[in-house]
Amino acid sequence: MRRRDLMRLLPVALSLGAWREQKASTTDGELSGERAFQRTLPRSSDPLWVKLRQCKVRYNAKTALYSLTPTDEVKALIGQTIKVRGFIIPLDGLDMTKHFLIGINTPVCLFHPPGEPNEVIEVRSLKAVPWNDKPVTIEGQFKLISNPEMGVFFAMTNAKPVKA
């Protein structure tokens, strides 16, 4: 199967609730193994991730929904133009993508999340960005969103790639 075919499966995989498996990491051997492997791979050291990871994430097992409590420091970023360095996870299955996640971790699987909900940002780019497995720097307007089913709470709009 070609990479393009695999990437087309990503939105389907996410919509099937892959994000909800996140809290199963202590009992799901497959996900635990992926997390252990992920820790051996490159990870973004961008200081913005430190701020975002301070936000408290909760998971309600009864409703299978996530919630996020942003810190005052993160709330102060709303509407600001920010830069972040991380790894692209396309959401449209294309090699050149305008809608993607950027995360702190190197993605290792299409069927499991690339990190915790406070470790990914949904990005809407003005121009298509090439997908690859190397870290990129993206600049755009920061906002908070609420997608409790998928565990996505941060977004960037009017985004574009910039030099690191």
Give me the CATH number covering residue 106.
2.40.50
Q: Is 41 helix (H, G, I), strand (E, B) or coil?
A: coil
Q: How many domains does the chain have?
A: 1
Could you tell me the pLDDT band of residue 123, with boundaries at 50, 70 and 90? very high
pLDDT at 91 over 60: yes
pTM over 0.85: no
Selected residue with higher pLDDT from 137 and 13: 137
3-class secondary structure per residue, 82-114: EEEEEEEEECCCCCEEEEEEEECECCCCCCCCC
The 10s digit of each residue's pLDDT in 9-48 is 444 344 334 444 344 334 456 777 888 888 889 999 999 9
pLDDT average, residue stretch 65-74: 97
Please give the residue range of the domain that contains residue 128. Answer: 3-162
d(CA 32, CA 123): 27
- pLDDT for 32 equals 78
pLDDT band at 87 (very low <50, low <70, confident <90, very high): very high
